[in-house]
Structure 1
Amino acid sequence: MHVGWMIKNIAEDPDPLVSGKTAVQEEAGRAWTFKELHAISNAYANKLTQLGVRKGDRVGILLYNCLEYFGLYFAAAKIGAIAVRLNFRLSSPELVYCLNDSGTKILCFHAGLAGRIEPIQHEVPVEQFICLQEEASVVPGWAQPFSVLGEGQQEDPAVSSIHLNDPVMLMYTSGTTGRPKGAIWTHNTTFWFSAIQALKWGFQARETAMTTGPLYHVGAMEDIALPVLMRGGTVIITKSKNFEIQRVLSVMEKEKVTCCFLFPFMIYDMLHLPDLAQYRLETLKTIYTGGDPLMPWALESIRAHFPHIGVVQVYGLTEGQPIAASLDPQDAAGKGSTVGKPMPLTAIQIADDAGNPLPAGEVGEILIKSPAVSEGYWKKPEATMETFADGWCKTGDLGFFDSEGFLTIAGRKKDMIRSGGENIYPAEIEDVLYRHEAVKEVTVIGIPDPKYMETVCAIIVKKDGARLTEKEVAEFCKRHLASYKKPRKVIFVKEIPRTPSGKVQKFKLREQFGAG
């Protein structure tokens, strides 16, 4: 059995209402049924085999969101190859690193990204380049057109045995702390993670899910999309460039979306719309969100505008199960500052620096254990040993359980601020500042201080036209926090650096503002 089987199983159902149902659809309307997705991924798989791809070889996918992305992913799975899903926002030097680190043999890329690939052709181990045209773009002479993949036979590819513990995908971590590492996902990891979500949320074939992130990220494919496909539901994907929340909401209404994944910054964009009342979202039952904690005011606003929609906050990480804990909508009113409880078949432990379990109420590092935890990092045994031990994944995140078993995130272990002998957790301060009417975005970091070792620095993006001073920020925080937690420095910026999944890159801010 392999990951491609989840599509084959539905595509070969004798009932045409099942096999002929839409599996994946682009927001503009282009779609493939389960039968078509299976046949097309077979064709890609057989052609990749003809081009020399063997079990264990790496196939790079550097594409914007499109149907072909799913075709390639399942094609690689069907022949035992490993899909290397690359961030299309990476620069040429960053791509050199990922392609060399993974040893990618064939690279499939969008024509719009050719300018970043051409200068590095001879610096990477890629043997063949395959280009997907878009609009009036031209396939460069050093690449083959994507149409060659469609020339393969559409019957099931003949391959050597694929085992559940074989790698199916390399996902390079989003790099909130520096250079990314390739997290290894096996067929087993992928099946278990899909099953855990289906078990938790009871996905059915009638589901129409919308994924809004880039497909190279687990938040757009492994979260929600794959388990919905596994159950025979439909997945709608948004285009990659020029994100507009108004357009996304319009597609949700038109396609009668029942559930979607929105990153917190997307939810904030939605709630800041002056014409939000025109969107009724009548079929939408659930919004899943994660990446960063959702601020309490946003939960309150969603309940006010859309009382029929449940918000599920999730917590996890690429290598440590992308959704390891979730907060059920019925618990949001009383436990909205938490990320809920562990998912089914998932254990979460809070530990001190020596790895000893801590009792409820005490802050420590979050450790995760489940059958959906990554096997480790690609060709990085030392980093693997450092992060994975005795089946546990050390997340690098800080958190604590309350007496009822709800998990609260206190921030990154490296982000904790140590000031004057006190531990200060940025998430607590960010929560307060997001309640200020002039604040659009905020993040908190520690910066060097000659007296206290570190001091609190708030970096703020103001709402358009809003007025706010450093003194006003400090006074606002003093009303809600202990004095030692208030920001002693406030920096106003036009934007906060984020990863493509919406996570704040605090290491860049520390570098920029001299925190080291």
Structure 2
Amino acid sequence: MNFSWILDSVAARVPSAGADRIAFSFDGRDRITYGELHAKTLRYARALRELGLRQGDRLALLLFNDAEYPPLILAAARLGVITVRLNFRLAPAELAFVLADSGTSVVVVHSSLTGRLAPVRDQAGVGTYVVLPDSDDPVPDWARPFEVFREAEPLTPDELPEVTGHDPMSLLYTSGTTGSPKGAVWTHGNTVAIATAQALRWQFSEETVSLVPGPLYHAGGFEAFVAPALLMHGTAVFLPSGNFTVDRLLAVLRAERVTDCLLFPFMLNELLHRDDLERELPPSLRRFILGGDMVMPSVAEEVKRRLPQVKLTQVYGLTEGGAIATTLEDRDFLAQPKSIGRPLPLAQARVVTPEGQEAAAGEVGEIEVRSPAVSQGYWNRPDATRATFHDGWCRTGDLGYVNADGFLHLAGRAKDMIRSGGENIYPAEVEKVLAAHPQVLETAVVAVPDSRYGEVGCAIVVPEAGQLPQPDALRAFCRERLAGYKVPKYFLISDELPRNASGKILKYRLREAFAHIESELDGEKTPS
């Protein structure tokens, strides 16, 4: 089954009034019905074909959250065109790598982001750029205006290719654990599978109004939250990118009568600082779904005390592993406060020892997940695919254990990944950039606690002999080559890095040594 079936099933519904239901709402203002969405995706599919895209080709979207974002994804899906959803925070060099690696033919870009692409167009190998107006900025002479989509005639059903559940729908690039991002292949079947599992677990229905505050380029946004709402013919609401405020969130929650809201833990913490929260939340709200990091037990207790009508769900997963693999449901929050829960419907999770055996209860090993939503592998990376996927299982790189009650727990991150405000940051990628600085001999980047984002990066730098690199200069060097959220918040100069007898850097010692850096620096903190 391909994902377009979801839209077609609404359009063909009896009674036909189903097409008048609201499918999407952007920022509580730009609303589109299922009937309008169905027609728009056929028009946009025609435009994509006239731009030269055919089944299996790649379309990249370099967009902020926008009312046109979902229709473009769904139009590409109708043609069997593979969507590459780009993180708008990426630096030009990072964008060039992803575009070239994916073999993208066409890019749709917000007008305010064209400056990211201009210096790297020669390296990217893209044939056509289309600019979606986001301001009064003129369209560059190397791009086409978005009117090519709006003025297109709809494709007829007999003009559409046969797209199956096995065909790729998306390429979702993950940060590189060894310095180079990899594109996880998501098929139409993967997307339908995660939508089905989520809808079953959270009992989505036609009355569901789900809200996504974060970026739609994340699998945790579109695949894991928007897709299940569409599957059940509910409504998906999303907010503009960046500049998150509690006031705006509350306004949209009320205006759209949201029932289920995805949040990162720092967003929930900011909500709970509102003295009037009990009055400001709409009575329609039934659930907060928390992703990106663990929710502190004290936070869960406060939610249950102040908002007894609102359920909490903690989710765990990774892009390659089907976006969400396990959930800790409301009924288990207080009894299992440090758990990441149990597998979704259709999913399995296990803990495996270094010898490849399933771990006993309480024994730490690597977490593996398996489900119909698990990625088919990495784009053009057979070695990386073999290293991560085997027999339908996905190696997560996370360490964990299953307790005596059958609940999965995290015990650490085997890859030293940093989780900052819902984004994954891999130290190896940042370290590779810093190593290129002429004044840097070696460096280690570790996670340190942060009151707003949960974790941020801290770079400990050993300078070349006779050199003394300044933190601001190192920060600027990183900003030219990395997305802003990957740039460490702290840069510290050291004579040496702690190592074991084999010469391996002991990052756990660095994490321990600088665990309180935020409070120690107090007002002298300099955000990246």
Instruction: Give the letter for the 1:193 counterpart.
Output: I
Instruction: Give the CA deviation at 1:439.
Output: 9.0
SS of residue matched to 2:10: helix
CA contact (8 A) 1:444 1:459 kept: no
| RMSD of equivalent CA atoms | 2.6
- Aligned partners of 2:147 and 2:372: how far apart in 1? 38
Which shifted more, 366-375 or 447-456? 447-456
Which shifted more, 144-153 or 252-261? 144-153
Per the alignment, do residues 63 and 446 of structure 1 end up closer, same or farther by CA in structure 2, a change over 3 Å counting?
closer
Runs of 5+ consecutive residues of structure 2 not aligned to the other structure: 418-448, 461-496
Instruction: Give the CA deviation at 1:174.
Output: 4.1
Which shifted more, 130-139 or 184-193? 130-139
- Match of 1:147? 147
- Aligned partners of 2:129 and 2:284: how far apart in 1? 42
- Aligned partners of 1:331 and 1:369: how far apart in 2? 23
- Match of 1:161? 162
- Match of 2:488? none
Instruction: Give the CA deviation at 1:444.
Output: 9.7
Deviations 1:439-478, CA, capped at 9 Å, x for gaps: 984579998536895522344475xxxxx55xxxxxxxxx
- Aligned partners of 2:35 and 2:19: how far apart in 1? 5
Structure-2-length-normalised TM-score: 0.81
Aligned-pair identity (%): 39
Instruction: Give the letter for the 1:30 counterpart.
Output: D
Deviations 1:121-156, CA, capped at 9 Å, x for gaps: 222221111000023232222111111112222244
- Match of 2:85? 85
- Match of 2:103? 103
- Match of 2:513? 457
Instruction: Give the letter for the 2:20 counterpart.
Output: G
SS of residue matched to 2:223: coil
- Aligned partners of 2:355 and 2:150: how far apart in 1? 54
The count of aligned residue pairs is 455
Q: 2:227 matched to 1:226?
A: yes
Deviations 1:6-34, CA, capped at 9 Å, x for gaps: 11211232434310111001114111100
Mapping of residues 285-300 of structure 1, within 5 Å = 285-300=286-301
- Aligned partners of 1:62 and 1:141: how far apart in 2? 18
Instruction: Give the letter for the 1:457 counterpart.
Output: A
Mapping of residues 168-247 of structure 1, within 5 Å = 168-175=169-176, 178-247=179-248
Instruction: Give the letter for the 1:63 counterpart.
Output: L
Which consecutive aligned stretches of 4+ in structure 1 deviate over 6 angstroms post-superposition? 443-447, 490-493
- Match of 2:380? 379
CA contact (8 A) 1:189 1:373 kept: yes
- Match of 1:479? none
Instruction: Give the CA deviation at 1:414.
Output: 3.0
Instruction: Give the letter for the 1:29 counterpart.
Output: R
Which shifted more, 163-172 or 438-447? 438-447
Per the alignment, do residues 340 and 441 of structure 1 end up closer, same or farther by CA in structure 2, a change over 3 Å counting?
closer
Instruction: Give the letter for the 2:317 counterpart.
Output: G
Deviations 1:96-117, CA, capped at 9 Å, x for gaps: 0000000000000100101111
CA contact (8 A) 2:220 2:324 kept: no
- Match of 1:477? none
- Match of 1:323? 324
Deviations 1:203-251, CA, capped at 9 Å, x for gaps: 1001111011101111111112111111100111100131112211221
Instruction: Give the CA deviation at 1:492.
Output: 9.3
Deviations 1:30-77, CA, capped at 9 Å, x for gaps: 111001111111111112112211110000111111121111101111
SS of residue matched to 2:205: coil
Runs of 5+ consecutive residues of structure 1 not aligned to the other structure: 417-432, 463-467, 470-489, 498-516
Per the alignment, do residues 234 and 12 of structure 1 end up closer, same or farther by CA in structure 2, a change over 3 Å counting?
same
Instruction: Give the letter for the 1:326 counterpart.
Output: T
Per the alignment, do residues 314 and 441 of structure 1 end up closer, same or farther by CA in structure 2, a change over 3 Å counting?
closer
- Aligned partners of 2:174 and 2:403: how far apart in 1? 29
- Match of 1:272? 273
Per the alignment, do residues 304 and 494 of structure 1 end up closer, same or farther by CA in structure 2, a change over 3 Å counting?
farther
CA contact (8 A) 1:442 1:461 kept: no
Per the alignment, do residues 345 and 258 of structure 1 end up closer, same or farther by CA in structure 2, a change over 3 Å counting?
same
Instruction: Give the CA deviation at 1:410.
Output: 1.6
Q: 2:181 matched to 1:125?
A: no
Mapping of residues 371-450 of structure 1, within 5 Å = 371-415=372-416, 441=454, 448-449=497-498
Instruction: Give the letter for the 1:230 counterpart.
Output: L
- Match of 1:337? 338
Deviations 1:400-423, CA, capped at 9 Å, x for gaps: 11111101112211339xxxxxxx
Instruction: Give the letter for the 2:414 counterpart.
Output: K
